[in-house]
Amino acid sequence: MYQKLHKNRSKLMRLKMGKTGRFILSGHYCFLLLISLILGWVLLFFHFLVVVPPRGEGLPSASILSSNNAVLLPIFQSQREFLQASPLPFSNKKLPDFSPAKKHLWQPLKRFGAPNDTCAGKYIYMHDIPKEFNQDMLDHCQNISLWTNMCTFIANTGLGPLLEDSEGSFSESGWFGTNQFSVEVIFHNRMKQYRCLTNDSSKAAAFFVPFYAGLDVSRYLWGGSTTIRDSASLAMVAWLQNQPEWKVMGGRDHFMVAGRITWDFRRKTDEQSDWGNKLLLIPEVKNMTVLVIEASPWHHNDFAIPYPTYFHPSKDSEILEWQERMNSTKRTVLFSFAGAPRPEIETSIRGQIIEQCKRSIHCKLLKCDLGASKCHDPSVVMKLFEESVFCLQPQGDSFTRRSIFDSMLAGCIPVFFHQHSAYSQYAWHLLSNHSSYSVYIREEDIRTRNISIENVLLQISPERVQSMREEVIKLIPGILYANPQSHLQTMKDAFDLTVQAVVDRVTDFRMLMLEGRQIEDPKGSDANEGLKAEKESVSVIEETTRRWEGKRRKGEQEGAHFVKDSASDTVTKELKENDEGVIFETLIWKKDLLKKEAQRQNRIL
Ligand SMILES: *[C@@H]1O[C@H](CO)[C@@H](O)[C@H](O)[C@H]1NC(C)=O
Ligand SMILES: *[C@@H]1O[C@H](CO)[C@@H](O)[C@H](O)[C@H]1NC(C)=O
Ligand SMILES: *[C@@H]1O[C@H](CO)[C@@H](O)[C@H](O)[C@H]1NC(C)=O
Ligand SMILES: *[C@@H]1O[C@H](CO)[C@@H](O)[C@H](O)[C@H]1NC(C)=O
Ligand SMILES: *[C@@H]1O[C@H](CO)[C@@H](O)[C@H](O)[C@H]1NC(C)=O
Ligand SMILES: *[C@@H]1O[C@H](CO)[C@@H](O)[C@H](O)[C@H]1NC(C)=O
Ligand SMILES: *[C@@H]1O[C@H](CO)[C@@H](O)[C@H](O)[C@H]1NC(C)=O
């Protein structure tokens, strides 16, 4: 309801300002108010008659696209809904104050931009932060992780080395050995190419802080003292606070990416044995929007964005070809699972899932054992997903897994067992109608009732399967990150959808402030007493998650007997030119390195 009214109010303001171009507070205020209310009701009435476009710009409609570019008409057009992951509370309606005194708050709004400025309302100001918070970490990449040579993975603007296609499961170009924790580097490089960057902070709809928070913490996750783990985050915040741009909205208009799961940034105590740093608990950071690959369902300042997949296309046509291929590929396996059991986690259903898969003639299992396993050759994994109708996605050490996105990229319908594996996470990138693109089987039903996954899936009609698969395929552009070295033409990738959602969220904050209202923290924030009861049960789950995480780390540590490769021995370099004539150094990964890396990563899947 709040959103509807908000939308109508926005329209109202556009109408009012349409003629004079300026909104002036006058003595006829009451009269205006009356007119506004009448207009408001008329608009509300029409709201139900006319199809209202989705919030923000949404995806361009087919007709717009065809008039622009007949060749690139996407067949798979997703009617993605722009959900607010945390709807803002609606209280008494107040008119926004567009007086000169509040210019700093309203100036960046789209309606106050030049009519012909296509960037109005979505300008981003990227902070030029000290190099110690980003570039220095890349320059000392060998120090980022104890177990993984991140130098390999930060190559090619964060996409990693080009992949060899051992199984013929990739398309011709755009496939890279991307590490699941590289998203902050990729996002930063995409942002450098964002068409609406500005250095004029008064125009900026939102402010991006290119801090590599995940790379930072991963340097010290195993062994660094709590003081060391927190130091870069605290220094980053101290720097931000001193910027004039920060003070305008107390950081409500600032956002950044922390490319790991939220539990790595939510350390509860200062005990040395406690996991992670406390980035997300810093008061200033609580005002920001922080993008992570798995968000906490119980906090309000972090939002989930997709894990990176292996596919980073440079052109719309590469995506369209891929979508068509995934729609027409022959799927011979009803359901499949790629992953390892979790014997150390009592409540894990992975053991049962593996058992069920082994028993069923309709299931194909790719077990990720320690040592030699094909389960980390991306080409092998993608091939499995491409030949499967359904892909099982039980939670692992935490709720989410990268495999969700790899399998959806392959047009495989995901089967979820936990609400927090995707539904409560990727609200900006997936669909609110979960049953339209996925199957849900309660974890409880597997654990206690030994429900047969095979039977559940066999009962779904071929028409439903076809319709779900088409929905999954429509979602593909929005769950991948395009190659930052080029531009997609009309399609919106995960980066585009995220930036749009962040700008919408900040716009809501602006409106609240212009209406003189308090910004309340909607999800179960620490300050919110009303949700205390919910929080108590929640903290048990949170603890469990964190314990699992701890165990995973131990596993990761056990895999550390693999010796670190020096990147230069196993990787060849090539100079490549992109469409815009810019030459990039491209690293190509040699196969044996891929295998070794796969073994090292074994415990993570
Ligand atoms: C956009 O507006 C500016 C300033 O009013 C004007 O100089 C420019 O010619 C306009 N461009 C177009 C394409 O209308
Ligand atoms: C990287 O790690 C090595 C070995 O642990 C250490 O000697 C060196 O000082 C570190 N470099 C930086 C820049 O932190
Ligand atoms: C902003 O300023 C920096 C440094 O002066 C410059 O390199 C960059 O191109 C500018 N960006 C825009 C969008 O004007
Ligand atoms: C957070 O934002 C609010 C405005 O919504 C501001 O009053 C407050 O000072 C900010 N908090 C911090 C720690 O900057
Ligand atoms: C996908 O494939 C089915 C046939 O398997 C076909 O009916 C449908 O039109 C295709 N969808 C698109 C968008 O090409
Ligand atoms: C959700 O999707 C399913 C399957 O496509 C459809 O039957 C159902 O009506 C949809 N629900 C809503 C609320 O749109
Ligand atoms: C689950 O059911 C299958 C048959 O559907 C049976 O073979 C298996 O033993 C059962 N497992 C448990 C743990 O009860």
Is the Cβ atom of 327 under 6 angstroms away from ligand 7? no
481 CA → ligand 3 middle, Å: 24
Q: Indicate the pLDDT class of residue 202, thresholds 50, 70 and 90.
A: very high
Q: In the 8-state DSSP scheme, what is residue 110?
A: G
Is residue 218 within 8 Å of 181, Cβ to Cβ? yes
433 CA → ligand 6 middle, Å: 6
> Which pLDDT score, from 0 to 100, does residue 567 have?
33
Q: What is the mean pLDDT of residues 262-282?
A: 92
DSSP bridge partners of 117: none
435 CA → ligand 6 middle, Å: 7
Amino acid at 13: M
- Nearest Cα neighbor of 588 from 575, 576, 572 is 572
Structure-block tokens of residue 492: 């919106």
| Residue 69: pLDDT over 90 | no
Strands 571-577 and 583-589, bridge-based pairing: antiparallel
Q: Indicate the pLDDT class of residue 327, thresholds 50, 70 and 90.
A: very high
Is the Cβ atom of 194 under 6 angstroms away from ligand 5? no
Q: In the 8-state DSSP scheme, what is residue 222?
A: T
Is residue 104 within 8 Å of 248, Cβ to Cβ? yes
CA–CA separation, 468 vs 476, rounded Å? 13
DSSP bridge partners of 125: 207
Query: Could you read off the pLDDT of 78-132 as tens digits, one per residue?
Result: 544 433 334 445 555 678 999 999 999 999 999 999 999 999 999 999 999 999 9
Query: Could you read off the pLDDT of 346-391 as tens digits, one per residue?
Result: 888 999 999 999 999 999 999 886 655 678 789 999 999 999 999 9
112 CA → ligand 1 middle, Å: 15
Residue predicted with more confidence, 477 or 517: 477
CA–CA separation, 502 vs 81, rounded Å? 15
Dihedral sign for Cα atoms in the order 225, 226, 229, 235: negative
- Nearest Cα neighbor of 306 from 114, 498, 76 is 498
Q: Which CATH class is domain 325-475?
A: alpha beta
Spell out a b/e string for 379-398, using b for 16 or more CB atoms within 10 Å of the CB, else e.
Answer: bbbbbbbbbbbbbbbbbbbb
> Ligand 4: which of 242, 287, 509 to mutate, judged by most atoms within 8 Å of the beta carbon?
287
Residues 6+ away with beta carbon under 8 Å from 433: none
Question: In percent, how much of the chain has pLDDT > 70?
Answer: 70
| Residue 313: pLDDT over 50 | yes
> Ligand 7: which of 450, 454, 458 to mutate, judged by most atoms within 8 Å of the beta carbon?
450
Q: H/E element holding 413?
A: strand 413-416
CA–CA separation, 381 vs 166, rounded Å? 11
First to last CA, the chain: 41
> Ligand 2: which of 143, 220, 566 to mutate, judged by most atoms within 8 Å of the beta carbon?
143
Q: How many CB atoms lie within 10 A of CB 39?
A: 15
Residue predicted with more confidence, 267 or 558: 267
Is the Cβ atom of 327 under 6 angstroms away from ligand 5? yes
Is residue 219 within 8 Å of 144, Cβ to Cβ? yes
Is the Cβ atom of 435 under 6 angstroms away from ligand 6? yes
> Ligand 5: which of 320, 321, 463, 470 to mutate, judged by most atoms within 8 Å of the beta carbon?
470
Is the Cβ atom of 143 under 6 angstroms away from ligand 2? yes
Sheet strands side by side (includes 363-367): 363-367, 333-339, 388-393, 413-416, 439-440
- Nearest Cα neighbor of 214 from 185, 189, 174 is 185
| Residue 427: pLDDT over 90 | yes
User: Could you tell me the residue ranges of all domains in the chain?
Assistant: 1-52, 325-475
407 CA → ligand 2 middle, Å: 37
Is residue 387 within 8 Å of 394, Cβ to Cβ? no
Q: Indicate the pLDDT class of residue 537, thresholds 50, 70 and 90.
A: very low
- Look at 106-115, 224-233, 296-305, 571-580 and tell me which has the smallest mean pLDDT: 571-580
Q: Which ligand is nearest to the CA of 436?
A: 6
> Which pLDDT score, from 0 to 100, does residue 555 have?
38
432 CA → ligand 6 middle, Å: 10
* Residue recorded with tokens 């292996």: 310
Query: Could you read off the pLDDT of 548-557 as tens digits, one per residue?
Result: 444 444 434 3
CA–CA separation, 494 vs 480, rounded Å? 5
